[in-house]
Homo-oligomer: A and B are copies of this chain.
Amino acid sequence: MSFYDQLKFDASGLIPAIIQEQKTGRVLMMAWMNRASLEKTLATGKTHFWSRSRQKFWMKGESSGHTQTVKTLSFDCDGDVLLIQVEQIGAACHEGYQSCFFRTVQDDGTSCRITEPQLQTPEQIYGANK
């Protein structure tokens, strides 16, 4: 039996994929995959997603060069979430941080602050016109 038979894609045909850097354990991002992007991810060893806002298939790093090489791919007990361990090139976040989760809520429970260094500016990653 293929593991695909154990997965549950949602009503839009999508499943969330948590991306974790294998060597550091840092959770880098979460994005959505459809079956085609999951198949492409496994076939190529590079993460591919489905953008809900742009309604577009995309490879992580296609613009920035910050690709992700798949190390392991797991799925949860309900079969409705993926966890993918990767080797990340450069910053995972399009805002230039290692992780998209660079803002952390403070002890007051309402304010937040940036809790990791910005490795590059978006202009450095994508060029001044993007």
Report A's interface with B, CB cutoff 8 A. Answer: 1-4, 6, 16, 18, 20, 24-27, 29-30, 42-43, 72-78, 81, 83, 93-95, 97, 100-105, 109-112, 115
B77 touches A3 (CB 8 A): no
Query: Beyond A76-B101, A93-B77, is A110–B3 a contact (Cβ under 8 Å)?
Result: yes
B105 touches A74 (CB 8 A): yes
> CB-CB < 8 A to A102: which residues of B?
74, 77
B2 touches A83 (CB 8 A): no
- A96 to nearest B CB, angstroms? 10
A74 touches B3 (CB 8 A): no
> CB-CB < 8 A to A27: which residues of B?
18, 20, 27, 83
